[in-house]
Structure 1
Amino acid sequence: MAQPGTGAVEQTTGLAGRRFQVRDHYEVGREKVREFARAVQNHHGAHQYEPDARKLGYDGLIAPPTFASVIGMTNTQALMDSVLTDYDLSQVLQTDQVFEVYRPILAGDRMQTEILIDSLRQFGDNDFIHVKFVLRNQHGEIAQVGSSTLVARRGADVDPNLVDAVESIFMHVRPPVLENGPLLELPADAAPLDVPAKASALVHTLPAFDDLTPGTALPPGSACLTRGDLANYAGVSGDPNPIHFSDRAAELVGLPTVVAHGMLTMGLAAEYLTSWLGDPTAIEKFSVRFSGFVPVAADAATTVEFSGKIKSLDAGTRTGTIMLSGSAEGRKLFGRALAEVRFA
């Protein structure tokens, strides 16, 4: 996917800089945490059992590192329904994702979201929409701050064959829209978001910080994906794009076969990192730029390979930056994947 750079033109539609509060909260369900953990193959016991979560210092199940993508999907739909109405969600791709964690999301949390359309740039026929978000829990505490870049074509003609295919296989049931719309726009002079410094939370990592050195490679890892995994993730995450389960839809957009969701591959990478760390709450920031895709045939599993390397370490904070790589069938999945982690 091309990235906006030289020659990119700032849009003048007035979208950039607009801030919104999502009117409805998102309640994190205990079983939803379990379902999502299974969907992204995150196997740590703290995602499934309260006793394992309590060992890490938390009373409720701990949502996997990429769980906020579920909340983000509902918020993206709200933006499409009320603000970015020139775009069709089925035609939108995601080029990168950043999660910065201030405190874990737990089962039972009631999350409120603030959204900022940070920028909107044109590059060729595509619009690149950079969206930032803030998630607060029921106590008003910031849980996560992050961003996504979406790419779409404004008002572009869509292949009628694709329209017919989508109409035949797309999920049509949509919840009723709130009376005043899903988003409350904040005034231009609203106080800027005050993000506090991160607290030094206690973590329980397996690698000993004093035994680590920059350049050290993590053990290799892998995961397998089938069409069943893709269909399950589509339902659990709320991502309805038919290229992840329909050969016809994939063919019409020029793909060789059905492909895995980018956020599913990011979730698998989070499991690879967590399995080394031994504590999912040790991940403080996780960012990925997607550059490839995982093809998944109808009759065979696809293996996704992961590797990692310690880029840097900070003895003062006992933190480190990890570079991650992923590939499938010789295809590189990430243009960049970095995790900032804290060690015990």
Structure 2
Amino acid sequence: MDTAFDGAGLVGYRYRVDDYYEVGREKVREYARAVQDFHPAHWSEAAARELGYAGLIAPTTFASIVAMRANRVLLESVMTGYDMFVHTDQVFEMHKPVMAGDRLTSDVELSAVRRVAGKDLLTITNTFSDQAGEIVHVMHTTVVGITGDDVGADIGDAVDGVVMSGLDGSSPASSVPHTLIDEPVQATARHSQESRTRLPRTAIRFEDIAVGDELPARTVKLTRGDLVNYAGVAGDVNPIHWHEDVAALAGLPDVIAHGMLTMGLGAGFITDWLGDPGAIIRYGARLSNYTVIEAASAGDVEFSGRIKSVDPETRTATVVLIAKSAGRKIFGLATTDVRLG
């Protein structure tokens, strides 16, 4: 990293992507398949209508694919003092379910930088507004800025040799038209209240749960093919998720699953239990370990959960989510706040 580079000095840098992202019906299905979420409301309009939705509802972590393109300006042409980034923490705040047909406007802000153990932890906040101008979804993504001293010296050349052709990494600012803004959209726009006022149609009633209750466990299998599919659907081109040599240069034991893929799997685990994908109002996790996916065999991710707390006034509960792979916890503290019918 350039010793003159001041990551903390960029806190508050914010911009708005000039064009909206239109949520496509088939893209919702593609993403649901990529995170192995087969809740009918992601696939069938009739099933979605039974839950009170006008069309297909997107999976909980769908907005991450909108953020992937929006954040390129910040990651590739503003925070230029780092050679790569490693995902460490993720929080989703849902104010209104994202649905097929929505037109999402993306605001991006570098909202915090912390120095921990000699490395910069950078938090990027994405705020998504719909065609009515209401804030529907807010994402907070924390990454560690990695320099050339921390990874193999040849990693840049290795990535250039395998990354998808047609990506002009040298000019991301021109490929993602954007406008700098003076203040965050959250200071001026109204947050939708739908997720906190709509009566959820959950399979589980609030009266039927108690602190300490455990959710039925679920095991998900992941192959290299699943990782390649997710990379294409989500737009995450980092080759550590599918190329062994690049993973080794990054200091990894083998190809690893995307952190956002494992979070998507976890969200599906929760909504399968809930019965209503729109009943999640917050989902956050620390990505403390990785899921190694070998070439010759599938990897397993085991999900479990328990009720940590309940609030009778709002009919909400906080669920602690546990995810393990090869005996290792891949999430640190992971919690989901849900509303129950």
- TM-score (normalizing by structure 2): 0.91
Structure 2 counterpart of 1:143, which letter?
A: V
Q: In the alignment, is residue 252 of structure 1 matched against residue 245 of structure 2? A: no
Deviation at 1:13, TM superposition (A): 5.2
Structure 2 counterpart of 1:336, which letter?
A: L
Distance in 2 between residues matched to 1:46 and 1:18, nearest whole Å: 37
Deviation at 1:159, TM superposition (A): 3.2
Offset from partner CA, 1:81-110 (integer Å, 9 cap, x none):
44223334xx21111111110111111111
Indicate if the aligned counterparts of 1:82 and 1:182 stay in contact, CA closer than 8 A.
Answer: no
Corresponding residue number in structure 2 for 1:79: 74
Corresponding residue number in structure 1 for 2:54: 59
Corresponding residue number in structure 1 for 2:154: 161
Offset from partner CA, 1:9-61 (integer Å, 9 cap, x none):
xx575311222211121111111111000000011111111111111112221
Tell me which of 251, 265, 268 is aligned to 2:265: 268
Superposition pairs for residues 85-234 of structure 1, below 5 Å? 85-88=80-83, 91-153=84-146, 159-174=152-167, 182-187=177-182, 192-196=187-191, 198=193, 199-234=196-231
Distance 1:16 1:79, change over 3 A: same
Indicate if the aligned counterparts of 2:31 and 2:62 stay in contact, CA closer than 8 A.
Answer: yes
Indicate if the aligned counterparts of 2:92 and 2:139 stay in contact, CA closer than 8 A.
Answer: yes
Q: In the alignment, is residue 289 of structure 1 matched against residue 289 of structure 2? A: no
Return 311-320 or 124-133, whichever deviates more: 124-133
Deviation at 1:131, TM superposition (A): 1.3
Q: In the alignment, is residue 280 of structure 1 matched against residue 277 of structure 2? A: yes
Structure 2 counterpart of 1:271, which letter?
A: G
Distance in 1 between residues matched to 2:172 and 2:228, nearest whole Å: 26
Return 208-217 or 168-177, whichever deviates more: 168-177
Structure 1 counterpart of 2:44, which letter?
A: Y
Corresponding residue number in structure 2 for 1:304: 301
Distance 1:191 1:290, change over 3 A: closer
Distance in 2 between residues matched to 1:37 and 1:113, nearest whole Å: 21
Distance in 2 between residues matched to 1:27 and 1:190, nearest whole Å: 19
Unmatched tracts of structure 1, length 5 or more: 1-10
SS at 1:87's partner residue? Answer: coil
Corresponding residue number in structure 2 for 1:22: 17
Structure 2 counterpart of 1:331, which letter?
A: R
Offset from partner CA, 1:224-273 (integer Å, 9 cap, x none):
00000000001101101111001111111221111100000000101111
- TM-score (normalizing by structure 1): 0.90
Deviation at 1:300, TM superposition (A): 0.7
Distance in 1 between residues matched to 2:283 and 2:57, nearest whole Å: 17
Distance in 2 between residues matched to 1:215 and 1:160, nearest whole Å: 49
Offset from partner CA, 1:312-334 (integer Å, 9 cap, x none):
11111111100000000001111
RMSD: 2.2
Deviation at 1:194, TM superposition (A): 4.8
Distance 1:158 1:323, change over 3 A: closer
Superposition pairs for residues 319-330 of structure 1, below 5 Å? 319-330=316-327
Corresponding residue number in structure 2 for 1:33: 28
Corresponding residue number in structure 1 for 2:3: none
Indicate if the aligned counterparts of 1:27 and 1:108 stay in contact, CA closer than 8 A.
Answer: yes
Distance 1:167 1:22, change over 3 A: same
What number of residue pairs does the alignment pair up?
333
Structure 1 counterpart of 2:271, which letter?
A: T
Unmatched tracts of structure 2, length 5 or more: 1-5
Superposition pairs for residues 40-51 of structure 1, below 5 Å? 40-51=35-46
Indicate if the aligned counterparts of 2:109 and 2:184 stay in contact, CA closer than 8 A.
Answer: no
Indicate if the aligned counterparts of 1:125 and 1:153 stay in contact, CA closer than 8 A.
Answer: no
SS at 1:92's partner residue? Answer: strand
Return 203-212 or 159-168, whichever deviates more: 159-168
